[in-house]
Structure 1
Amino acid sequence: MASKPGILTDWPWTPLGNFKYVVLAPWAIHAIHSFLVKDEKERDVAHFLIFPFLLSRMLHNQLWISLSRHRTAKGNNRIVDKGIEFEQVDRERNWDDQIIFNGIIFYIAYFILPGASHMPLWRADGVVITILLHTGPVEFLYYWLHRALHHHYLYSRYHSHHHSSIVTEPITCKN
């Protein structure tokens, strides 16, 4: 937790504890139900695949977390000659909250944006647009917003939590 926690420091589903995944259940159930009930021409594969993609992101993250902790425990490739403490593991245990938030955004966008339904699974122009967005405005904003987080007001309320981890691992950046 930050040294002086500000508003919106915790996710709204934090009180649910390990049951936080229930937040996605209504949308995931609706997507599965509509995929199974509708006839073949009306089915929306992209809507159906939101939840499996979220699960694959969680599995991918967990794989890298486990691998990095194994290598840290083993002693290879340490940047700091120190092991991960239990306090750090507890502090960084909410790495999946961002994935839950992304799932909520994807499901809401599907219902609000008219062009979000029946999208093709692959479009080459979409890949080019994604690359241009990430190399341009996303990296620019990420850098400057991260610099702004080092201002005393924001640092003490939000960002000090991130810098309290001395031994870095893949999920340190998500805290």
Structure 2
Amino acid sequence: MATNPGILSEWPWKRLGSFKYLVLAPWVAHGCHLAATEGWRELDLGYVAILPSMLLRALHDQAWITVSRLYNARGKRQIVDRGIEFDQVDRERNWDDQIILSAILLLLGAVYMPGGQNLPWWRTDGAVLLLLLHAGPVEFLYYWFHRALHHHFLYTRYHSHHHASIVTEPITSSSIPLPSYWPINCCSRSQ
């Protein structure tokens, strides 16, 4: 945890512990209700695809965590000649919080974005624009936002949590307090 935790240094659902996925329960119940009353054919596929994509992302992250810990346990390809400590494992337990936040943002976009239900599945000009925006302004903002987190005031409140991990793993970058995640990471970084 941060050496001097600041405001919003915890995710809103942290107190739910292992039950944090209940935050998504109203949306799952709403989707099931729509499927039961209107049928699967009437449902917006983008709305229904949020949960499976979230689960695939969690599975993907878990696979990389497992591979990383296997290599660490075997002692091959280590950056630091040290074993992972229990404190780090406990500190990085919230690696899936950013997946929950992404699901909530996608849900809000799918439900409340005007015309969001009628978007095409693929547009080449949109993909090129997203690539250019990500490679240009988003990476630029991400770099300066990360530099700002190294200022003493922000570092002690939010970013020291990230640098407390000596043996880095794939999830070390995503197990961070909420302000370190917001606003740049939710728009640009997917683990």
Shorter-chain TM-score range: over 0.9
- TM-score, normalised relative to structure 1: 0.94
Q: Does 1:144 align with 2:136?
A: no
Distance in 2, matches of 1:165 and 1:137, equals: 29
Tell me by how many angstroms 1:49 deviates. 0.4
Alpha-carbon distance, 1:118 to partner? 3.3
Relative to structure 1, the CA distance from residue 40 to residue 155 in structure 2 (aligned partners, 3 Å threshold; closer, same or farther) is closer
Aligned residues of 1:68 and 1:169 also touching (Cα < 8 A): yes
* Deviation for aligned residue 1:107: 1.0
In the TM superposition, residue 56 of structure 1 has moved relative to its aligned partner by 0.6
Q: Please identify runs of 4+ aligned residues in structure 1 that moved more than 4 A.
A: none
Residues in 1 aligned to 2:77 and 2:109: alpha-carbon distance in whole angstroms: 41
Cα deviation code 1:19-60 (max 9, x no counterpart): 000101111222243245325764211111011111111001
8 Å contact kept, 2:46–2:110: no
Relative to the length of structure 2, the TM-score reads: 0.86
Counting aligned pairs with the same residue, the percent is: 58
- Aligned partner of 1:119 in structure 2 is 119
* Distance across 1 between alignment mates of 2:9 and 2:73: 30
CA contact 1:13–1:23 (8 Å) conserved in 2? yes
**Structure 1, unaligned runs of 5 or more:** none
Q: Which amino acid aligns with 2:38?
A: K
Deviates more, 1:5-14 or 1:27-36: 27-36
Structure 2: gaps spanning 5 or more residues: 177-191
Higher deviation after alignment, 90-99 or 132-141: 132-141
Q: How far does residue 111 in structure 1 lie from its aligned partner after superposition?
A: 2.0
Q: CA RMSD in A?
A: 1.5
Q: How many residues align?
A: 175
- SS of match in other structure, 1:3: coil
* Maintained 8 Å contact 2:71/2:77: yes
Once the two structures are superposed, residues 44-81 of structure 1 have per-residue CA deviations (whole angstroms, 9 ceiling, x without a partner) of 11111011111111001101111111111111110000
Q: Residue 114 of structure 1: SS of its match in structure 2?
A: coil
8 Å CA contact 1:110–1:116 kept in 2: the answer is yes
Amino acid across the alignment from 1:140: F
Q: Which residue of structure 2 lines up, in the alignment, with residue 64 of structure 1?
A: 64
